[in-house]
Amino acid sequence: MEIVEMSLGQLRKLLDNKEISALEMTKGFLGHIAQLDPEINAFITITEEEALFAAREADARIAKKEGITPLTGIPIAIKDNICTKGVKTTCGSKMLANFIPSYDATVVTKLKQAGAVLIGKTNLDEFAMGSSTESSYFGLTRNPWDLKRIPGGSSGGSAAAVAAGMVPLALGSDTGGSIRQPAAFCGIFGLKPTYGRVSRYGLVPYASSLDQVGPMARTAKDLAVLYHNISGYDPLDSTTVPLLPEKVNDLPQGLKGLRFGIPCESYDKKIDPGIKEKLLLVADLLEKAGCIPVEVSLPSLEYAAAIYYLIAFAEASSNLARYDGVRYGYRSEEQTDMISMFRQTREEGFGREVKRRILLGTCFLTPEYYEDYYLKAEKGRARMKKDFARAFLECEFMLTPTTTVVPNIIREKTDDLLSKYLSEVCTVAANLTGIPALTFPCGCINGLPVGAQLMARAGKEETLFRVASFIEGELGVVKGGIR
Amino acid sequence: MKYETIIGLEVHVELKTDSKLCCGCSTKFPAEPNTLTCPVCLGLPGALPVLNKKAIDLGITAGLALNCKISRECKFDRKQYFYPDLPKGYQITQFYAPICRTGWLKKEFPTGRRRIRITRIHLEEEAGRSYHSGAGIIDSDYSLLDYNRSSIPLIEIVTAPDLRSPREAKEFMEELKIILEYTGVSDCKMEEGSLRCDANISVRRQGDRELGKRAEVKNMNSFRAVEAALEYEAKRQIELLEQNTPLESEETRAWDEGNRETVFMRFKEKAYEYRYFPDPDLLPVIINDDWIKGIRNKLPELPNSKRERYIQEFRLPKDDAALISSSKPMAEFFEAVLKDYSGEPKNVSNWIIGDLVRLINQEKIEFHQIKLKPEALGQMLKILDQGVISSKIAKTVFEEMFYTGNKPEIIIKEQGLEQISDVQLIQEIVVKVMADHPQSIQDYLSGKKKAKSFLVGQVMKETKGKANPGIVNVLLEKELEKIKE
């Protein structure tokens, strides 16, 4: 087997047994990237020099048998909205095309401390606003399963890189499904952790109350390992929770007696019949393993998309105010005074979708609309939390589709904004309620991968890893696309 | 026609914390521009604020000192506007749920004692500082930015429109400053900008119930400027009223210290243009009873009640009590002296208000920097009361203590300053002095009473001021009487 197809555990064994050095491994992945990425365009920046340096350091650790973690010497890709000291962090935007952070995000610090090899920064929808990775200033990313199709988004670069074997692991960020939807479209695993479990310090914010950094991987176990390495309380992020990091090396197998909820609202008629079929298959497997299906009701799910967009756009309009051309990033040449500097810089520096969201969000926060839109959305959000809390009295986890469709052809649906926004219903609920949600591959339709989503109570990532790992074992690896 | 002036104040107070409101950067001032910054206070993408607990403590302290209700849930909002010295494009502040509400400050005005209501106190962060090459940002060739001040914690104290004259506004500010210094909330340096105030002012005809349209006056950089600016503005508004052209809409004006006038800046922004909303990066801070109790227990006695106590307990005159209680270190010094010294408290206040304040001003130092120990002053007063030294010598001893910090008994001993009360010795000197100055005796006998003082002075000179003046007087009198006879 080639290293590009191996799981973390297999790579670990090669390194620890000194069958291959971290340097050779990193070179191997860099070579794979050089071969595939011109076509896929998963990366905005490849940090070859830094990666080789980190690989040598990892080799030194391995030689001394000191400070070896599961990630020591393992190449990892980072979504390009996560700050890396001394390495461009563009957010896929002209606005930050040349922005080099002076500091590392907490998750990056943690990975570096673990000895991981950061190999490059991956493409995304501009400022993580989108679900197709078509809106990046650095060009679109293609789906390794079918290059005519989108990889999903906004963490499309990370999803494509992992799916194509350019890296075994990647970090994404998820505000309304930006890890899970591209993971599903690219046939890999992705986790949106419980809000507050992973530090946001250094994640360039889109919507602060919804954003979470999360892992993307090709196996459930790899996903869990990466999650455990990046999670935990961070004194630099007031919204992280001071809980001890969980320790899980081997995921427990038994699922007997676990109740899984099937929210009737998420299986409505808009869902692709092929996807529905796959889900029923998964449900069967769970039942056979001793899980108990329960039908649960989430009446407020109907409003999830509306609530999500009101809150996300409002927060985005504020979070993106700092890009004014004064201190860093793009500054328009077409300026004569302060006002025109602000106006032209933002006019030229942001793309269409970002401007659309800023304008709408600004509007939602004006007093004419604040109460009717923003406050009402916050009330809706509180209602959703209650609905979920009630549903989780009856089950330990829920099973839903990750997306209602398979990846579309590039540029095919760009104009149909409403259907694009609505296809995110299944994923946004987890962000609005703060609960963890995991997507796993559950088969293919016409050669395109399909994902299913598991959700659990806040802090119960372990349940999700257990279930996903079980199904992975039952279904075997879902293979396809270029590797 | 009589007019009434209605004034409310918005006072900005920089809090006395070591680090900023949302990051660990130092609040030192002055410092090289942009050296006290980090990703958080520079608003770099991805950086997140973390609240400074000390700032919340001081917010609570200010609230308790001003008799406010303390919010149990302290939440932060974003106030959004674009300006180059505002690095995030929004300011972290409190709009919907300020840390303190509905308090008051009791103040003795010439027209009587009144409560000035405090509407709210909220916590917020400072913006950076802009330095324009021209008059303002729009007409400057360039502007320089310093983000050292960015995110320094601040409270804004908003009063009800309860002040009735520019003088009252000034006196209120002075009182507020004393309280905030006392409680350690701020060092209140107006010249460094750590205490600033904007005033909302309107006028109406006496007897009218409705308030007139108000102007907000900014840029008043001293207490005197507060009074002068508001006097100017009140007069201007009264004139407008008399010409039947009162203010039509609310406006913001700036005090021009050079030309001594208020200048139109802009019509007032409506609050909604700031699009306030809860900051999702900061969770609500829950303030429980224990927290408040802890701060209340540490609250020092406030100047108002000290003043009262000095008058009641120590029988100080009103002015002495007011002056001494106006400065915390001075009041603490005063009280410390009285711990050792059981004589007349007025003696202590005399020395403090007189010689001590004079020397401090002369040396241009702050009260807390003095070398003089309160025990030393107490000891000196005891020695003085016992007649060991004269009050004239006491002044010398006091200066010596002020400059060296030495104990009075050591100074007196080393310099041989003890008073001479030996009658025989003084008698001899008196006789000698009289022999040396026959002309003065002639003068005295011919009715020039001043000549006696001259002779006393000569005796003191001979004894280097150490002779007991009472004894000198008595003995000299006796000798002169003898000659008369």
Looking at residue B408, what is its pLDDT?
A: 85
* Statement to judge: residues B165 and B261 lie in one domain: yes
B130 touches chain A (CB under 8 A): no
Which residue is catalytic, options A178, A231, A266, A423? A178
Closest-CA residue of chain B to A89: B45
- Segment A138-162, tens digit of pLDDT: 999 999 999 999 999 999 999 999 9
In this predicted structure, the answer to whether residue A394 has a pLDDT above a threshold of 60 is yes
Q: Which of A132-141, A242-251, B157-166, B348-357 is predicted with the least confidence, judged by mean pLDDT? A: A242-251
Looking at residue B328, what is its pLDDT?
A: 86
Mean pLDDT of all residues in A69-98: 98
CATH of domain A3-252+437-475: 3.90.1300.10
**pLDDT above 70 covers what percent of chain B?**
99
Q: Check CB contact under 8 Å for A102 and B44.
A: yes
Q: Check CB contact under 8 Å for B50 and A203.
A: no
Q: Check CB contact under 8 Å for B89 and A324.
A: yes
* Statement to judge: residues B230 and B108 lie in one domain: yes
Looking at residue B284, what is its pLDDT?
A: 94
Mean pLDDT of all residues in A272-285: 91
* Statement to judge: residues B72 and B205 lie in one domain: yes
* Statement to judge: residues B280 and B375 lie in one domain: no
Q: Check CB contact under 8 Å for B283 and A238.
A: yes
Per-residue pLDDT band for A57 (boundaries 50, 70, 90) equals very high
Looking at residue A433, what is its pLDDT?
A: 97
A236 touches chain B (CB under 8 A): yes
A359 touches chain B (CB under 8 A): no
Looking at residue A439, what is its pLDDT?
A: 98
Per-residue pLDDT band for A245 (boundaries 50, 70, 90) equals low
CATH code of residue B455: 1.10.10.410
List all residues of chain A from 24 to 83 with a beta carbon under 8 Å from chain B.
81-83
Q: Check CB contact under 8 Å for B280 and A365.
A: no
| Whole-number Cα distances in Å, B332 to B149, B182, B345, B368 | 32, 11, 14, 10
Cα(B65)–Cα(B60) distance, rounded to whole angstroms? 9
A327 touches chain B (CB under 8 A): yes
**Least Cα separation, residue B283 to chain A (angstroms):** 7
Looking at residue B479, what is its pLDDT?
A: 83
Closest-CA residue of chain B to A375: B277
Range of the domain at B445: 423-484
Per-residue pLDDT band for B446 (boundaries 50, 70, 90) equals confident
In this predicted structure, the answer to whether residue A342 has a pLDDT above a threshold of 90 is yes
Looking at residue A375, what is its pLDDT?
A: 96
A328 touches chain B (CB under 8 A): yes
Looking at residue B271, what is its pLDDT?
A: 55
Better-scored residue on pLDDT, A301 or A330: A330
Better-scored residue on pLDDT, A375 or B193: A375
Closest-CA residue of chain A to B140: A337
**pLDDT above 90 covers what percent of chain A?**
84
A154 is catalytic: yes
* Statement to judge: residues B236 and B308 lie in one domain: no
Chain B residues touching residue A370 (CB < 8 angstroms): 272, 275, 277
**pLDDT above 70 covers what percent of chain A?**
93
Which residue is catalytic, options A21, A79, A110, A221? A79
Cα(A309)–Cα(B182) distance, rounded to whole angstroms? 49
In this predicted structure, the answer to whether residue A250 has a pLDDT above a threshold of 60 is no
Per-residue pLDDT band for B43 (boundaries 50, 70, 90) equals very high
Chain B residues touching residue A238 (CB < 8 angstroms): 48-51, 281-283
**pLDDT above 90 covers what percent of chain B?**
44
* Statement to judge: residues B184 and B264 lie in one domain: yes
- Segment A396-427, tens digit of pLDDT: 999 999 998 889 999 886 556 666 666 678 89
Q: Which of B118-127, B160-169, B273-282, B343-352 is predicted with the least confidence, judged by mean pLDDT? A: B343-352
A178 is catalytic: yes
User: How many domains would you assign to chain B?
Assistant: 3
Considering the entire predicted model, what is its pTM? 0.88
Looking at residue B396, what is its pLDDT?
A: 85
Per-residue pLDDT band for B270 (boundaries 50, 70, 90) equals low
Q: Check CB contact under 8 Å for B90 and A318.
A: yes
Q: Which of A39-48, A300-309, B38-47 is predicted with the least confidence, judged by mean pLDDT? A: A300-309
Preceding peptide of A154 cis, ω within 30°: yes
B274 touches chain A (CB under 8 A): no
Give the start-to-end residue ranges of the domains of chain A. Answer: 3-252+437-475
Count CB neighbours of B49 within 10 A: 23
Mean pLDDT of all residues in B180-187: 92
Better-scored residue on pLDDT, B223 or A143: A143
Looking at residue B123, what is its pLDDT?
A: 97
Which residue is catalytic, options A154, A231, A266, A423? A154
* Statement to judge: residues B327 and B272 lie in one domain: no
Mean pLDDT of all residues in A113-136: 97
Q: Which of B366, B395, B415 is the last residue of a domain?
A: B415
In this predicted structure, the answer to whether residue B125 has a pLDDT above a threshold of 60 is yes
Mean pLDDT of all residues in A195-210: 98
Chain A residues touching residue B138 (CB < 8 angstroms): 337-339
Of A237, A321, A366, the CB nearest to B89: A321
Better-scored residue on pLDDT, A241 or B100: B100
Chain B residues touching residue A322 (CB < 8 angstroms): 43, 45, 87-89
Looking at residue A340, what is its pLDDT?
A: 92
Better-scored residue on pLDDT, B406 or A331: A331
Mean pLDDT of all residues in B372-382: 88
Q: Mean of the per-residue pLDDT values for chain A? A: 93
Looking at residue B7, what is its pLDDT?
A: 94
A99 touches chain B (CB under 8 A): yes
* Statement to judge: residues B179 and B246 lie in one domain: yes
Count CB neighbours of B413 within 10 A: 11
